[in-house]
């Protein structure tokens, strides 16, 4: 129990500034990130399957959430989180968690690397202290804005961010159990507060950037009040909450659900490998869904299992769900008792923290390893997912990435299929008449492979009027393949040819019987099929 309390406190220290930084990067007040970590940390732990996963806001969501905030505001974001939670529960109840784990590695690396590039790019503004009034538009538009704004470069903001980044990098090399974020942000925050007070440098902090007005209580920075229950749609007039709004938000919600599912299950795979536990993927998705339904009612943004915080939890001795709950209670206590002090965190320091997060999730080594060693198809998928994530939109990248994954799977399955003249059977039956052909078919017959078989069999010389198909290695057959076979049978029948099947398994045989394919004779073994072909040779002539 003591080890879980200690690990929960350690992860809470890490999650406290990170949750605020992620919320700010998304375009919402920092306290919403804290509310997310508190609620998701408790609900996901209680209702999920993993004992050690730590849930909360994650960097992966930033790219998806920014456009939602810009177009629909905070209310739209809360509704998207609520809808994504419902979707996750349905995915878990339908037991589709195992399917999500099948997303190819190049797709996952393409997404995460693209997200890392976007996150790092968005932090340039605060890292260099640039003045940009409306930092919106496409990725290219933002690059242009950043380039054109370097005339507003602020040396003191840059030094603050650089010092934070340097301490984060150096402290991690010491392998100290004290979190690098605590050391870096603690030192820089105290230093900035001193220099702002002593020399009037006006280095931006949470306190100077954000204001709040909750239940008549107003102020700057982080509101030192407990969680407030509120309806996610409460900020909009009732007439604006309609089916049209929900339909507009649905694609965003699906993207959040897919990415949240991928992130949480990837986190579960990593934590299981480290601990020896076995996480139920469907129960884990249901837990994440319940957490995302609960979070918006307390003003939080979408959440999922966070890999870095989970690894920190395990390394700190976390073995039970108690550590995640302690982490949430620590953040809640921090809001209640030290909110005024947290508010002095410099914006530039938080940008440096996010750049470090972006680097850690960038998968640089894996990205270039795929480029060097992977087949061309995998490289194309990787670069497509990466480019779409960076240049266009995460929703498009998710949709096309999953589509590409499906096409890649289909293509490779087709490659496993083959139809070729049998050499082994010809060697065993050297007396086989010249008008009889034997073809070996290997692999599953579905819509892609069926067309390949159709073309091969229809191009057979008319002098070869008896064809035996050795199908003992055909594991399955879909409706397209059955229709293709019907076309082949009809073609053979019109040309007075004979088609014979050999070695069909019972499942495939029953499908053909239900399809009522006529003019075809089936045998359980090749010997009987060949003897039958020899018998009817003279009859057909």
Mean pLDDT of the chain: 88
- Is a pLDDT exceeding 90 seen at residue 49? yes
Residue range 418-540 forms a domain whose CATH class is: alpha beta
pLDDT tens string 275-310: 988 999 999 999 999 999 999 999 999 999 999 999
pLDDT at 288: 97
The burial class, CB within 10 Å (0-12 / 13-18 / 19+), for 459 is exposed
Question: Chain centroid to CA 393: how far?
Answer: 14
- Is a pLDDT exceeding 60 seen at residue 333? yes
75: which 2 tokens?
């209310």
| Residue 416 neighbours by CB under 8 Å, 6+ apart | 442, 443, 444
| Percent of the chain's residues with pLDDT above 70 | 93
185: which 2 tokens?
């942000």
pLDDT at 363: 82
**DSSP summary character for residue 521:** E
- The residue extents of the domains of the chain are 2-409, 418-540
pLDDT at 181: 93
pTM (2 decimals)?
0.82
pLDDT tens string 439-476: 888 877 777 666 767 677 777 776 777 888 888 888 78
pLDDT at 486: 81
Mean pLDDT along residues 184-212 = 95
- Is a pLDDT exceeding 70 seen at residue 57? yes
Q: What is the rounded distance in angstroms from the CA atom of residue 247 to the CA atom of residue 252?
A: 10
416: which 2 tokens?
């496993």
Q: What is the rounded distance in angstroms from the CA atom of residue 160 to the CA atom of residue 346?
A: 8
pLDDT at 430: 62
Contact 492, 498 (CB under 8 A): yes
pLDDT at 378: 86
Q: What is the rounded distance in angstroms from the CA atom of residue 331 to the CA atom of residue 324?
A: 11
What 185-192 contacts at long range (C-beta under 8 Å, 24+ apart), as own/partner pairs, is: 185/17, 185/345, 185/349, 185/350, 185/353, 187/163, 188/160, 188/163, 188/164, 188/346, 188/349, 189/344, 189/345, 189/346, 189/349, 191/163, 192/160, 192/344, 192/346, 192/349
CA angle centred on 525, ends 523 and 526, rounded to 5°: 100
Strand ranges (DSSP E) for 44-169?
55-56
pLDDT at 535: 78
Q: What is the rounded distance in angstroms from the CA atom of residue 208 to the CA atom of residue 157?
A: 14
pLDDT at 214: 84
- Is a pLDDT exceeding 70 seen at residue 541? no
Task: Quickly state the pLDDT bin for 185 (edges 50, 70, 90).
Answer: very high
pLDDT tens string 407-429: 877 777 777 667 776 655 555 66
Residue 182 parent element (H or E): helix 180-199
pLDDT tens string 216-273: 889 999 999 888 899 888 767 766 778 999 999 999 999 999 889 989 988 998 899 8
pLDDT at 537: 61
- Is a pLDDT exceeding 70 seen at residue 312? yes
Q: What is the rounded distance in angstroms from the CA atom of residue 407 to the CA atom of residue 382?
A: 14
- Measured CA to CA in angstroms, residue 255 lies from 72, 96, 302, 335 at distances of 16, 16, 11, 31
- Better-scored residue on pLDDT, 198 or 375: 198
pLDDT tens string 336-374: 999 999 999 999 999 999 999 999 988 888 899 989 998
- Is a pLDDT exceeding 60 seen at residue 534? yes
């Amino acid at each position: 129990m003591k080890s879980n309390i200690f690990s929960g406190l350690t992860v809470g220290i890490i999650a406290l500034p990170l949750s605020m930084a992620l919320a700010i990067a998304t375009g919402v007040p920092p306290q919403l990130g804290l509310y997310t970590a508190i609620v998701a940390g408790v609900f996901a732990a209680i209702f999920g399957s993993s004992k050690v996963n730590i849930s909360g806001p994650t960097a992966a969501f930033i790219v998806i959430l920014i456009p939602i905030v810009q177009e629909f505001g905070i209310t739209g974001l809360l509704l998207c989180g609520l809808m994504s939670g419902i979707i996750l529960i349905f995915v878990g109840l339908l037991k589709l968690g195992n399917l999500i784990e099948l997303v190819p590695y190049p797709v996952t690396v393409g997404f995460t690397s693209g997200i890392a590039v976007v996150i790092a790019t968005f932090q340039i503004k605060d890292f260099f202290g640039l003045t940009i009034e409306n930092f919106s538009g496409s990725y290219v538009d933002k690059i242009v804005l950043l380039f054109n704004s370097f005339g507003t470069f602020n040396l003191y903001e840059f030094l603050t961010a650089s010092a934070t980044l340097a301490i984060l990098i150096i402290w991690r090399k010491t392998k100290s159990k004290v979190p690098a974020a605590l050391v870096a942000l603690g030192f820089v925050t105290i230093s900035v507060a001193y220099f702002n007070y002593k020399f009037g440098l006006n280095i931006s902090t949470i306190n100077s950037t954000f204001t709040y007005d909750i239940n008549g209580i107003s102020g700057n920075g982080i509101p030192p009040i407990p969680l407030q229950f509120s309806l996610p749609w409460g900020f909009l007039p009732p007439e604006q909450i309609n089916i049209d709004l929900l339909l507009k938000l649905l694609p965003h919600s699906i993207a959040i659900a897919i990415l949240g599912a991928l992130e949480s299950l990837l986190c579960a795979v990593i934590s299981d490998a480290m601990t020896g536990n076995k996480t139920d993927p469907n129960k884990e998705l249901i837990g994440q869904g319940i957490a995302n339904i609960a979070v918006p009612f307390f003003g939080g943004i979408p959440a999922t299992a966070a890999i870095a915080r989970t690894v920190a939890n395990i390394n700190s001795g976390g073995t039970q769900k108690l550590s995640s709950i302690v982490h949430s209670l620590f953040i809640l206590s921090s809001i209640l008792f030290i909110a005024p002090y947290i508010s002095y965190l410099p914006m530039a320091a938080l940008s440096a923290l996010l750049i470090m997060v972006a680097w850690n999730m960038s998968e640089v080594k894996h990205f270039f390893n795929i480029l060097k060693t992977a087949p061309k198809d995998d490289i194309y998928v990787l670069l497509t997912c990466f480019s779409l994530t960076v240049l266009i939109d995460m929703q498009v990248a998710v949709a096309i990435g999953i589509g590409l994954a499906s096409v890649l799977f289909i293509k490779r399955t087709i490659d496993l299929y083959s139809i070729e003249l049998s050499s082994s059977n010809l060697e065993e039956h050297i007396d086989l008449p010249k008008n009889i052909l034997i073809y070996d078919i290997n692999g599953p017959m579905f819509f892609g492979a069926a067309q390949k078989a159709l073309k091969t069999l229809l191009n057979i010389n008319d002098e070869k009027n008896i064809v035996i198909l050795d199908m003992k290695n055909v594991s399955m057959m879909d409706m397209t393949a059955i229709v293709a076979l019907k076309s082949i049978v009809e073609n053979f029948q019109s040309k007075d040819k004979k088609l014979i099947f050999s070695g069909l398994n019972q499942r495939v045989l029953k499908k053909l019987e239900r399809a009522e394919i006529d003019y075809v004779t089936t045998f359980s073994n090749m010997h009987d099929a060949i003897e039958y072909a020899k018998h009817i040779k003279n009859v057909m002539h």
